[in-house]
Amino acid sequence: MPTSLVGTRIISSFDALLDRLSARLEAPLPGHDAHLRMAPESPRRHVLSVAERSCREAGVLVLLLPPLDDPRIVLTVRHDELPDHGGQVSFPGGQREGTETLSETALREAEEEIGLAATSVRLLGGLTPLYIPPSNYCVHPFLGAPLAPPSLRPTDREVAAILRAPVRRLLAPDARVVEPWTLQGRDVDVPYYDVDGHAVWGATAMMLAEGLAVLEGLVEKDSRAE
């Protein structure tokens, strides 16, 4: 069985990794420090905060897949022809409905988008909520893992493909790429992660950066980038 050395402790199973992650999520989170690493224009902290916002609320699922020695994070690619954010990469998730909790929102949307039964997920805890000014959304990410190996497939008309991003590779020092882009008529240096040829940027990259910061030290980095 693969093992990972963390300090003086050994993680010998995927369940043990999840237990450690759950404990980490109860401690102070990396928060906006991690978000700012992937922010296109380094906004001030208060701009990212959801505190005292009159905003639309959304929940997203940051799903961690086994195995222990090569864990993956699930992302979705939107169809190119969609009028809003066509071709972009996101986490399974969407807008809160009725009286459901935000974690219930994340699980419901994951079931609708990638065929993942809500009852088949172990929720580990919440990451730091993030305010997205252009859409006026307060997005609440939740880290989870399947109770058994899932069979994922696009089950929503908006989802074109499912990506399984290798955590080890994303933790590598050279995983963060920065390029000059033109956004809304302005030249901006945009940081992003390259996942199977797809640029993961913006709010998704910012939330992913915090998830990776929580995972760092528990999962070994890709040795090719050292």
Of the pLDDT bands very low, low, confident and very high (cuts 50, 70, 90), residue 226 is: very low
Q: How many other CB atoms sit within 10 Å of the CB of residue 112? A: 17
Structure confidence by residue, pLDDT tens digits, 188-224: 999 999 999 999 999 999 999 999 999 999 998 886 5
Whether pTM exceeds 0.95? no
197: alpha, beta or left, given left = phi > 0 and alpha = psi -120 to 50? Answer: left
Q: In this predicted structure, what is the pLDDT of residue 128? A: 98
Give, in words, the CATH class of 4-218.
alpha beta
Give the residue, 8 or 140, on which the prediction is more confident.
140
Of the pLDDT bands very low, low, confident and very high (cuts 50, 70, 90), residue 44 is: confident
Structure confidence by residue, pLDDT tens digits, 109-152: 999 999 999 999 999 999 999 999 989 999 999 999 999 999 99
CA distance 205 to 161: 18
Residue carrying structure tokens 């065929």: 115
Q: In this predicted structure, what is the pLDDT of residue 195? A: 97
Structure confidence by residue, pLDDT tens digits, 153-163: 999 888 999 99
Residue 1 has pLDDT above 90, yes or no: no
Q: Would the CA dihedral through 76, 81, 84, 86 be positive or negative?
A: positive
Report the pLDDT averaged over residues 25-44.
Answer: 92
CA distance 168 to 178: 19
The proportion of the chain whose per-residue pLDDT surpasses 70, expressed as a percent, equals 91
What value does the mean pLDDT of the chain take?
A: 91
Q: Would the CA dihedral through 152, 156, 203, 41 be positive or negative?
A: positive
Report CA dihedral (209, 214, 220, 224) to the nearest 10 degrees.
10
Of the pLDDT bands very low, low, confident and very high (cuts 50, 70, 90), residue 171 is: very high
CA distances from 197 to 90, 95, 163, 213 (A): 14, 28, 10, 23
CA distance 46 to 25: 22
Q: In this predicted structure, what is the pLDDT of residue 5? A: 41
CA distance 117 to 72: 18
Q: Domain residues of the chain, as ranges? A: 4-218
Return the structure tokens found at 51.
């505190």
Secondary element (H or E) of residue 34: helix 32-37
Secondary element (H or E) of residue 37: helix 32-37
Residue 86 has pLDDT above 60, yes or no: no
Burial tier of 167 (Cβ tally within 10 Å: 0-12, 13-18, 19+): buried
